[in-house]
């Protein structure tokens, strides 16, 4: 069995804990190897290495840093098929989606490499003569990057590419469900020429590795994607670090009575059951106009019945397993709650062999029911019927989250009203709730995060500080706000 190492200061080393954990293929339970169970002293070493590398990296011109990012892009491209296979084996989603995951990483490295020749600040006039004002972007310092297992290449890329282009160095903790993908990712960075200490990797649990990163006195920024509970823990424990949180969603698709129903069904199936529902942008609620509810449900269920479950490596399969045992238990728990609260089970509801779970639909749910409010992160869609557009907006906004959203309608008025009224970071018109493109900002409102955005130009803000510069060439001590002092 392959025993892996952590990566600190440019060297693959053993964890000082001496302990290991295993990662398993969720489709068949086979072990993918042993991984070091990192601890606080590994994190301390990683932080020291990251600071040691910081002066050199942060002072390298950004266009030169970008050359390395372009090489990462090229290597991801060359190895796309094989990396996708690694993703599918480790977290279960089907190969086509895993290739999409790698493609997203390719795109973001390309986009952020391009930022190496931008990283814009701005200039603006001074209120005083012979004085020049501008802003610059400067790096933050050492960043802790903590990522989930559902996009094991795209999400580390969303964070590490902008962190690097801005001149930061990184301590990276991948999810303990996908340590192998994390290692493959770092191997590729090293091959591309990322200097020693610029990216360090510590594998292990949230408690043993995540918490020491979050609380570390010498880490200046944290970028995290994952559960709301962990997000809250970070907000409470990171102190005055610059923190970016991308937490969950309870995303809704509104289907109006004038929608193209076949298109809406396509969107609901893909959004609800792609990645086995394990996306923060999953369409876990469908808010359907009563006039078309029955038609929609008939077509929706017919499509779901055709979904083939199995190993994501099999090209005929549509839906893979859930990631682990506790994910299965969580889905089972919510299905039980849905039934108890009186939502109507239209299909599915049962655990199958191993970590597979039937695609499940609840209907005639009320907006306040638990299955209409809480993130399940599995193949469960809750249908909530509404009588008009106003009620649809009320329902879609009735949750604590605000990540993605969608409306299917042929009315331009409804489309634009939805853009205006839906409380979410992302709104799709006549498309599903997933499918973010890397040159646009990604993130949510309300309890989906703390207001930061990833990807796009806004993605640079999370990983840089703004420095304000005043240059006075008047030869006098000029004072702003027109103050006269000591001059009489």
**For binding to ligand UN1 (CB under 6 A), which residues are involved?**
104, 150-151, 225, 279-281, 434-436
If we measure between CA atoms, which residue out of 483, 477, 470, 366 comes closest to residue 126?
470
329 an active-site residue?
A: no
Q: Are 118 and 75 in contact (CB under 8 A)?
A: no
* Nearest to ligand UN1 of 330, 339 (CB atom): 330
Output the smallest distance, CB 435 to ligand UN1, in A.
5
* Nearest to ligand UN1 of 280, 381 (CB atom): 280
If we measure between CA atoms, which residue out of 408, 433, 386 comes closest to residue 256?
408
Output the smallest distance, CB 318 to ligand UN1, in A.
17
Output the smallest distance, CB 285 to ligand UN1, in A.
16
The 3-state secondary structure of the chain reads: CCECCEEECCEEECCCCCCEEEEECCCCCCEEEEEECCCHHHHHHHHHHHHHHHHHHHHCCHHHHHHHHHHHHHHHHHCHHHHHHHHHHHHCCCHHHHHHHHHHHHHHHHHHHHHCCCCCCCEEECCCCCEEEEEEEEECCEEEEECCCCCCCHHHHHHHHHHHHCCCEEEEECCCCCHHHHHHHHHHHHHHCCCCCCEEECCCCHHHHHHHHHHCCCCCEEEEECCHHHHHHHHHHCCCCEEEEECCCCEEEEECCCCCHHHHHHHHHHHHHHHHHCCCCCEEEEEEEHHHHHHHHHHHHHHHHCCCECCCCCCCCCECCCCCHHHHHHHHHHHHHHHHCCCEEEECCCECCCCCECCEEEECCCCCCHHHCCCCCCCEEEEEEECCHHHHHHHHCCCCCCCEEEEECCCHHHHHHHHHHCCCCEEEECCCCCCCCCCCCECCCHHHECCCCECCCCHHHHCEEEEEEEEECCCCCCCHHHCCCCCC
**Beta partners for 372?**
none
Output the smallest distance, CB 98 to ligand UN1, in A.
13
Output the smallest distance, CB 473 to ligand UN1, in A.
48
CA angle 464, 442, 99 (to 5 degrees): 105
* Nearest to ligand UN1 of 281, 363 (CB atom): 281
* Nearest to ligand UN1 of 225, 382 (CB atom): 225
Cα gap 163→75, rounded to integer Å: 19
Given the residues 246, 297, 374, 375, the one annotated as active site: 246
* Nearest to ligand UN1 of 121, 441 (CB atom): 441
Output the smallest distance, CB 452 to ligand UN1, in A.
14
* Nearest to ligand UN1 of 194, 222 (CB atom): 222
* Nearest to ligand UN1 of 65, 228 (CB atom): 228
Output the smallest distance, CB 169 to ligand UN1, in A.
24
Output the smallest distance, CB 104 to ligand UN1, in A.
6
454 an active-site residue?
A: no
* Nearest to ligand UN1 of 411, 430 (CB atom): 430
Given the residues 86, 280, 297, 358, the one annotated as active site: 280
* Active-site residue set: 246, 280
């Amino acid at each position: 069995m392959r025993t892996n190492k952590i990566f600190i200061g440019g060297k693959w080393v053993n964890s000082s804990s001496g302990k290991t954990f295993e990662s398993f293929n969720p489709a068949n339970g086979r072990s993918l190897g042993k991984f070091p169970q990192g601890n606080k002293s590994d994190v301390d070493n990683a932080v020291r290495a990251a600071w040691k590398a910081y002066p050199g990296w942060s002072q390298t011109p950004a266009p030169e840093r970008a050359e390395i990012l372009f090489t990462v892009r090229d290597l991801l491209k060359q190895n796309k098929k094989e990396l996708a296979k690694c993703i599918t084996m480790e977290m279960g989603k089907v190969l086509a989606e895993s290739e999409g995951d790698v493609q997203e990483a390719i795109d973001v490295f390309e986009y952020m490499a391009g930022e190496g020749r931008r990283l814009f600040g701005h200039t603006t006039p001074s209120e005083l003569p012979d004085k020049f004002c501008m802003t610059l972007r400067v790096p933050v310092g050492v960043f802790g990057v903590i990522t989930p297992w559902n996009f094991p290449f795209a999400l580390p890329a969303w964070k590490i590419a902008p962190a690097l282009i801005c001149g930061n160095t990184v301590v990276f903790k991948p999810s303990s469900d996908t340590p192998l993908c994390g290692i493959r990712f770092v191997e590729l960075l090293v091959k591309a020429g990322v200097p020693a200490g610029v990216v360090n990797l510590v594998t292990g649990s949230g408690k043993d590795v995540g918490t020491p990163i979050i609380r570390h006195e010498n880490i200046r920024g944290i970028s995290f994607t994952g559960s709301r509970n962990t997000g809250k823990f970070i907000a409470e424990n990171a102190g005055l670090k610059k923190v970016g949180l991308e937490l969950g969603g309870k995303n809704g698709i509104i289907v109006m009575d004038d929608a193209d129903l076949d298109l809406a069904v396509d969107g609901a199936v893909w959004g609800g059951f792609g990645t086995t529902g394990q996306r923060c942008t999953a369409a876990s609620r469908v808010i359907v106009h009563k006039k078309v509810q029955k038609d929609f449900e008939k077509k929706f269920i017919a499509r779901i019945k055709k979904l083939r479950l199995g190993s994501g490596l099999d090209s005929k399969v549509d839906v893979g397993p859930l990631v682990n045992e506790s994910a299965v238990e969580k889905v089972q728990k919510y299905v039980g709650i849905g039934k108890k609260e009186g939502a109507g089970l239209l299909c599915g509801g049962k655990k199958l062999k191993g970590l597979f779970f039937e695609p499940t639909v609840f209907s005639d749910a009320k907006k306040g029911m638990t299955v209409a409010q809480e993130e399940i992160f599995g193949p469960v869609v809750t249908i909530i019927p509404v009588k008009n557009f106003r009620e649809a907006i009320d329902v879609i906004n009735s949750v604590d989250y605000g990540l993605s959203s969608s409306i299917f309608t042929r009315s331009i008025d409804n489309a634009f009203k939805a853009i205006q009224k839906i409380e979410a970071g992302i709104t799709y018109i006549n498309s599903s709730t997933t499918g973010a493109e890397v040159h646009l900002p990604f993130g949510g409102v309300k309890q989906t995060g703390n207001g930061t955005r990833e990807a796009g130009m806004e993605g640079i803000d999370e990983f840089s500080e703004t420095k304000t510069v005043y240059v006075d060439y008047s030869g006098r001590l000029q004072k702003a706000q027109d103050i006269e002092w000591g001059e009489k």
